[in-house]
Structures are given as structure tokens and as C-alpha cells.
Amino acid sequence: MFDVVVIGSGPAGYVAAIRASQLGLKTLCIEELSNDKGKPNFGGTCLNVGCIPSKSLLDSSHRYYEAKKNLSDHGIQLGDVKLDLKTMMERKDNIVSKLTGGIDGLFLTNKVESICGKGKVISKNTVQIDKADGSSEKVDAKNIIIATGSSPIEIPAASFGKHIVDSTGALAFDSVPKRLGVVGAGIIGLELGSVWSRLGSEVTVLEALEDFLPMTDTDISKESFKEFKKQGLDIQLASKVTSTKELKNLVKVKYEQKGKEIEVEFDKLIVAVGRKPNSEKVLPKNLGIKIENGFIQVNEYCQTSLENIWAVGDVVRGPMLAHKGSEEGIMVAERIANKQAEVNYDLVPNVIYSHPEIAWVGKNENELKSSGIKYKVGKFPFAASGRALAVDQSVGFVKVISDEKTDSILGVHVFGPAAAEIVQQALISMEFGSSAEDIALTMFSHPTVSEAFHEAALSVNNQAIHIGNKK
């Protein structure tokens, strides 16, 4: 009998398994994917076909673009800069192998047992593992953690095929498509659209909504939209794909925009319209655990209606982010070990790894207005930051929002260099209940782009030094 059986080894599942074992619980992790040795291929979407390979290509494509277009401004003359896509892809694949293989080692040192196969709960305390060779095995578990993750959504108007691909296909093109279409101007559409645009594709992004990045602060959505357009992404809002047809070497796409039907041709089409939870067939109906819109229903501690069955990561409510899943995994392992862990869902950081990055934490102005909370705003443009100018990254700003009365920081929104790192500083300060004044009274190294956070915090109370204040 295992104390804990985890189904799925993505960032939610493998982290839950490691922490459970560290806490002295006998733990098994089941992973469906196998590697070329027939062993479980750990790491889930994030390590294999998500966060890590996309960031690897974002970095390589950025370096290529800089070498080709921007280094001459720095007085650096290069010869003819050529793209070797095969090497770029091999580098990405090597990073993925290193990290997924690293989980083998982590499981070994932390004494997590593992098995390759498709796991499904068949009773309150039993999990069945269906293996690739057709055999199956049952294991008994005091506690079960479901961490089966999510998969790309396919839409009827653009079924996946040879030229119509999901994010996984878009991480592995063997040549740069001349004309690339992307359905969905969400996080994946913008990140992978940027990769291929930097490598030379003409990129058109078709977004169904009229608003661009509606979940972000309005100033960020406006400024970043202009910047993406400047970088060559042709983003068409209010554009609904109605049909697609794959021909031998291209795909024809029809979409509707303001009542007009438009037809375009692409060499490849990436469909990135969101992801759906992998909850099918993992739970039997007779246990009574509810699934709504595919999401396994859990309380704030990721516990289902059965006290020993838990679910974490993309398969439950909340943002589909690796770090959110990992924190849930740790919380559940600790709760199983009778500790009082919880996740602070109010402070989940969000990052879009474009260039420059977009990152935020906490509430934006629209959210505060609609909940009737009175607030103050301080904003500092990177154009006024010495370091941002020196490193040629002076687009964007930092915005700090604090409570009108208490000055407690309610949200921080950054579009610009090192946005993810700046937001992480803000998040740490918010976890400790910081006010804008606390940040204003803190010393920042000079010259850093983080000084923009300091100045934005000073500006909340009209004390900015390097820009004009409101009053």
C-alpha cells in the first residue's frame, strides 16, 4: 500500500511526489509518456513541449534577430548572419532532455517510485495502470493525487493536420514558414508568433476578441499591441476563423472580420486558442467527484469531495501555469502529512515572454474599479531609466497600484526589460504586506532596470525623482 499515488509527472505531479516522499510518505508517480528506453518520460507539458522548449527558442530567435538587425547600432558589424535551424532545434532538445532526465535523478535521491503507464482511479483507494504492452497492474493508495495536466484545444474550423499544428508542432518546424498564420493572440500565440517572426516568417495573428490581451492592465495592452505591430506581427482583432483547407503545400484560411469574409493563405497555421484539462477517463463516475467543463472540482486545498483524492495543476481551476501547479502539489503533499499548508491564489505571477516581457501580479485598474476599491497609481517609463537606455531596452513602463488609504500595494504591472524579475520582487514585497512607501524607502542598486520599480513606487505618493509628479 502506497501512502501517496500521483498520476502525472508534470510540474504539479512530480513536485507533489518529491515533497510527499521528503515528508516520509511512501510515494509512487505514474507517467503515461515513455522515453526511447521504455522508461517514464517525466516533466509533463512544461518540460517537454511547453515552458522550457518555448523559452529556449525565444532566446535563440532573439539572439538571431539582434545579430541580424540591431548589433550595428552598437558599432558591431557582422558578416552575413545565417540561420542554422537544425542546430537551434537540437540545442532546445538537449535542454529538454537534460531537464526531463534530471527528474529521474530527483526521484532517485528522494526515493520516489515510478511506473510507466496510463493511470486511472478505479475505487477510492485503488489506481489501475494500463501499460503500453497491453498489460495492467493495480496499486493500493491511502491518498491519490491527480495531476494529469491539459492538452491543446482543437477547433472544428481548423482541425490539426500536416500544415495546421498545435503549440507542440510549432516548436518543431523543420524550416521557417514564409507565411505563418496563428489563431489566437493569447500567450502561446504571441510567444511562438514572436519566435517565428524573428526567424523570418511573415506572421498574421487572428484573434476572435475585439480586445487585445484583455486580462492585462489597459496601458500594457495598448502599449504592447503597438510594440508587437512594430515588431512585424500583423495582429487582426475581431477575426473569427470560419474554415480552413489544407492543400499540398499550404493552408487556405477563411475568417470573418466585422461582417466581411476574408480569405488568406499560409504555409503553416498554429492554432493556440487555449488548453483543456485532461480529466477524461481518469475518474469513475460512481465515486461522485464532480467534473465541470473538464475541470476536476476541488476546494481551496485541492481536495475533491472524497477526502483522500486530490487534484492539482492544469486539471483544476485557476491559471494554467507551471508554478501554480507546483505550489498546489506542495500544498497537497503537506496537507496529506497533516501540515496546514495553503496557496495564496491572490498572488500568482503572470509573465508573457515576449520582447520586452509583460508581467504582472495582483489587481489591475479595471478590476479595482469594478470592485469599488479606491487606489493610487505610480508609473515610471523605461525611457527615463539610465540602465534601460544603456542596454537598448527603453520601451514600456512599471506601474504600481496601491490602496488609496493604507498605501498597501494591490498590483504591479510591467512591460519592459526583466519584467518577470521585477514583478517577482514586487510579489515578495506584497507577500510581506508592503506599502508603496516601503518600496520607496528601500535602496536599489544603480544602474538597474529595477530602479524603475523604485521610481514607480515613489511616484505613487508624488515623490518620483526622475520624472514629473502628478501634483
CB of 46 or CB of 127, closer to ligand NAD? 46
The footprint of ligand NAD on residues 123-182 (CB under 6 A) is 155
Does the protein bind ligand FAD through residue 235 (CB under 6 A)?
A: no
Tell me which residue of 238, 239, 267 sits closest to 252, measured CA to CA.
Answer: 267
The one segment of 71-79, 318-326, 387-395, 439-447 that binds ligand FAD by CB under 6 A = 318-326
Q: Catalytic one among 74, 163, 446, 454?
A: 446
Q: Which of 2, 58, 127, 149 binds ligand FAD (CB under 6 A)?
A: 149
Q: Which does 7 bind (CB under 5 to 8 A by kind): ligand NAD, ligand FAD, none?
A: ligand FAD
Q: Candidates 24-32, 81-89, 252-260, 283-291 — which segment interacts with ligand FAD by CB under 6 A?
A: 24-32
9 binds ligand FAD (CB under 6 A): yes
For position 163 contacting ligand FAD by CB under 6 A, the verdict is no
If contact means CB under 5 to 8 A according to the sort of partner, which of ligand FAD, ligand NAD, none does residue 207 touch? ligand NAD
Minimum Å gap between C-beta 261 and ligand NAD is 14
Distance CA 345, CA 222 (A): 27
Region near ligand FAD per CB under 6 A, out of 29-37, 90-98, 203-211, 216-224: 29-37
183 binds ligand NAD (CB under 6 A): yes
Query: In the bound complex, what is the minimum distance in angstroms from residue 338's beta carbon to ligand NAD?
Result: 32
Single out the segment in contact with ligand NAD by CB under 6 A; choices: 61-69, 138-146, 316-324, 332-340: 316-324
Cβ–Cβ under 8 Å, residues 20 and 3: yes
| Minimum CB distance to ligand FAD, residue 304 (Å) | 15
Cα torsion angle, 114, 117, 120, 123, sign? negative
Say which entry of ligand FAD, ligand NAD, none residue 45 contacts (CB below 5 to 8 A, set by partner kind). ligand FAD
Q: Does position 418 bind ligand FAD by CB under 6 A? A: no
Binder of ligand FAD out of 179, 222, 254, 323 (CB under 6 A): 323
Select from ligand NAD, ligand FAD, none the partner in contact with residue 396, using the beta carbon and a kind-dependent cut-off of 5 to 8 Å.
none
Among 118, 387, 399, 413, binds ligand FAD (CB under 6 A): 118
Quote the Cα angle for 454-217-460, to 5°. 30
- How many residues bind ligand NAD (CB under 6 A)? The answer is 25
CB of 186 vs ligand FAD, minimal distance in Å:
11
Is the distance from CB of 125 to CB of 64 less than 8 angstroms? Answer: no
Report if residue 274 touches ligand NAD, rule: CB under 6 A: yes
Q: Is 323 among the residues known to form the active site?
A: no
Q: Which partner from the list ligand FAD, ligand NAD, none does 206 bind, CB cut-off 5 to 8 Å by kind?
A: ligand NAD
Q: Is 10 one of the binding residues for ligand NAD (CB under 6 A)? A: no
Return the HEC string of the chain: CEEEEEECCCCCHHHHHHHHHHCCCCEEEEECCECCCCCECCCHHHHHHCHHHHHHHHHHHHHHHHHHHHHHHHCCCCCCCCCCHHHHHHHHHHHHHHHHHHHHHHHHHCCCEEEECEEEEEECCEEEEECCCCCEEEEEEEEEEECCCEEECCECCECCCCCEECHHHHCCCCCCCCEEEEECCCHHHHHHHHHHHHCCCEEEEECCCCCCCCCCCHHHHHHHHHHHHHCCEEEECCEEEEEEEECCCCEEEEEEECCEEEEEEECEEEECCCEEECCCCCCCHHHCCCEECCEECCCCCCECCCCCEEECHHHCCCCCCHHHHHHHHHHHHHHHCCCCCCCCCCCCCEEECCCCEEEEEECCHHHHHHCCCCEEEEEEEHHHCHHHHHCCCCCCEEEEEEECCCCEEEEEEEEECCHHHHHHHHHHHHHCCCEHHHHHCCCCCCCCCCHHHHHHHHHHCCCCCCCCCCC
Residue of 129, 320, 427, 436 that binds ligand NAD (CB under 6 A): 320
- Tell me the catalytic residues: 446
Q: Which residues of this protein are in contact with ligand FAD, per CB under 6 A? A: 7-13, 30-33, 44-46, 50-51, 54, 118-120, 147-150, 167, 188, 278, 282, 313-314, 320-323, 325, 353
Residues that bind ligand NAD (CB under 6 A): 155, 183-189, 191, 206-209, 240-241, 272-275, 319-321, 351-353
